[in-house]
Copies of this chain bind each other. A is one copy, B any other.
Amino acid sequence: MNIEHIARIADLNARYAEAIDADRLEAWPDFFLDDGCYRITTAENVAQGLPLSMMYATSRAMLRDRVTALREANVYEGQRYRHVLGTPLIAAAGVGSLRARTGFMVARVMQTGETMLFATGCYEDRIALDGPDGARFAEKTVVLDSRQVDTLLAIPL
């Protein structure tokens, strides 16, 4: 167990979640490398070896495009998210990078005030530690516990 690694990943995760929850979506792509991958799938797909994804992006530019589309469509305006994350488990560490798994719960708060437990799951991340701008996600796979994916999966998880 490397306390500094865990603390750095917990800090990265907390800043990532806070950017989304505070509706600073324009900052969201900056948590990824230029060629970072972002994917949302389900535990069921993973268990069956299916490569299906609810969302799949292979660069920071694609993530920026998505944020622009969200802002223009305004589909997400009536809601906000609140993430609570677990302690990251460092699965493997290489030179300047590591893999981590972090459980999460996300609540969705509608503009009416209605609050619901929206999504639970696990982040499976590969993180580059020592870039010029600090730690960044090289890969983030969001593995949802539920097969029932809300069609209005507007805001990133």
Task: Give chain A's interface residues, CB within 8 Å of chain B.
Answer: 1, 3-4, 6-8, 10-11, 13-15, 17-18, 21-22, 43, 80, 82-89, 101, 103-105, 107, 109, 111-122, 145-149
Contact = CB atoms under 8 A, between A and B. Distances in A.
Contacts of A84: 84-86, 103-105
A32 to B, nearest CB: 19
B6 A1 contact: no
Given A6-B11, A17-B103, A113-B148, A85 B82 contact: no
A129 to B, nearest CB: 12
Contacts of A113: 146-149
A89 B120 contact: no
